[in-house]
């Protein structure tokens, strides 16, 4: 496994935690009204997706419980199809999916870096 994999996993973890900190105590109405929050979350999702895309195939195969392709796909949607981004999916991903991703990344990181 390339050492870069752990760097990318670390970036994913850091940015996912940052996104969660931005929505802590906030609700969907706050998200809808706050352009800066929306843009920040979309940027963080892009970084998470780009890092996921760069993780080696070998590492991905060892950890199939992480939806690598879906994470990278969301990044691609935001970057390349920005006019059709579904705000419900962005919000739900941050609020519901990122906590699961964070838990899984925290679980696998020590296994990969004993």
Q: Which residues are catalytic?
A: 75, 80
CB 26 within 8 A of CB 37: yes
**How many helices (H) does the chain have, and how many strands (E)?**
7, 0
Measure Cα distances from 17 to 25, 85, 105 in Å.
14, 22, 11
| 45's tokens | 């999702």
Cα–Cα distance measured from residue 84 to residue 77, given in angstroms and rounded to the nearest whole number = 8
CA atoms within 13 A on the CB side of 72: 13
């Amino acid at each position: 496994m390339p050492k870069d994999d752990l760097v990318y996993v670390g970036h994913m973890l850091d940015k996912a935690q940052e996104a969660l900190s931005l929505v802590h105590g906030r609700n969907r109405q706050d998200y809808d009204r706050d352009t800066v929050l929306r843009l920040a979350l979309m940027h963080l999702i892009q970084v998470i997706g780009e890092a996921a895309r760069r993780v080696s195939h070998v590492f991905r195969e060892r950890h199939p419980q992480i939806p690598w392709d879906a994470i990278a796909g969301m990044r691609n949607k935001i970057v390349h199809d920005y006019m059709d981004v579904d705000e419900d999916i962005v919000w739900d991903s941050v609020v519901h999916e990122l906590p699961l991703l964070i838990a899984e990344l925290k679980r696998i990181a020590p296994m990969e870096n004993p």
